[in-house]
Structure 1
Amino acid sequence: MNSLWTTEEALWLEGADAFERIMADDCLMVFAPMGIMRNAEIVESLRHAPRWQSVSMSDRAEARPAPGVLSLAYRASAQRPNSAPYEALCTSTYFETGEGWRLLQHQQTPL
């Protein structure tokens, strides 16, 4: 679903405000070395992190394990100003609500 790929890119590039709009109340994320994080903790950590200036997503894959549930998997190549490129394998799971899609889970494995 193309619109969720656009949503996923917005999470990389737009920061905390995008996460507040898109995350489910009980969203979980896993980042090395930060560990397991939940909704409010995720947003707070993003407020102090430098934003990505670009991201490309290759090796895209999708799974629909049930109606209203969609998982995305991809290889991310991202860049921040004055930093080395960041490469990771990522997954995100969304579920559909009456108000649109919400992010339930995101995980990154740095390469």
Structure 2
Amino acid sequence: MDDERLWGFEQSLWIEGPDNYEEKVDDQVLMVLPHPPYVYAGREAKEAVKSTPVWDRAELDQRQVSRPQEGLIVIAYRVRAEKEGHNGYEAHCTSVIRRLEHEVWRVVQHQQTPPLAASAEG
């Protein structure tokens, strides 16, 4: 998967709905999300992201890509997401995407770390 397609794939997980998660997130996925119980696996992880907003816009910057072996891609980035009527969302994220077969890719790991609140930094 080239970089342009890779970043389009990842961005779609922020701006498209639950059917997209079902298609692109592996049934054995592991996730760390910024709300209890924080560590999720499999179906529980997919359900947890289905309860989050489908964002109108998601900007992915500070992009880093690693391809440690054939069929495995590791990415890291910052997301800034917006949706009318909701507070914006920002987080630093990682995802691991693996190829199942030609042109078929699935997210097998995803993590989100929102920035620390200013009051917590002091």
Give the TM-score normalised by structure 2. Answer: 0.82
Q: What are structure 2's unaligned runs of at least 5 residues?
A: 116-122
Does 1:104 pair with 2:108?
A: yes
- Kindly report the root-mean-square deviation, in angstroms, between the aligned alpha carbons of the 2 structures: 1.5
Do the aligned residues in 2 keep the contact of 1:59 with 1:74 (CA within 8 Å)?
yes
Q: CA offsets per residue over residues 43-99 of structure 1, 9 Å max, x none?
A: 323443332111001111100111111011111000122222211101110111115
Runs of at least 4 residues of structure 1 off by over 4 A?
Answer: none
Following the alignment from structure 1 to structure 2, what is the Cα–Cα distance between the partners of residues 38 and 65? 23
Aligned length: 111
Within 2, Cα distance between the matches of 1:47 and 1:59?
25
Identity of aligned residues (%): 35
8 A contact 1:23–1:39 mirrored in 2: no
Bigger-Rg structure (1/2): 2
Stretches of structure 1 lacking an aligned partner (at least 5 in a row): none
1:92 and 2:95 equivalent? yes
Give TM-score scaled by structure 1 length. Answer: 0.90
2:56 alignment counterpart? 53
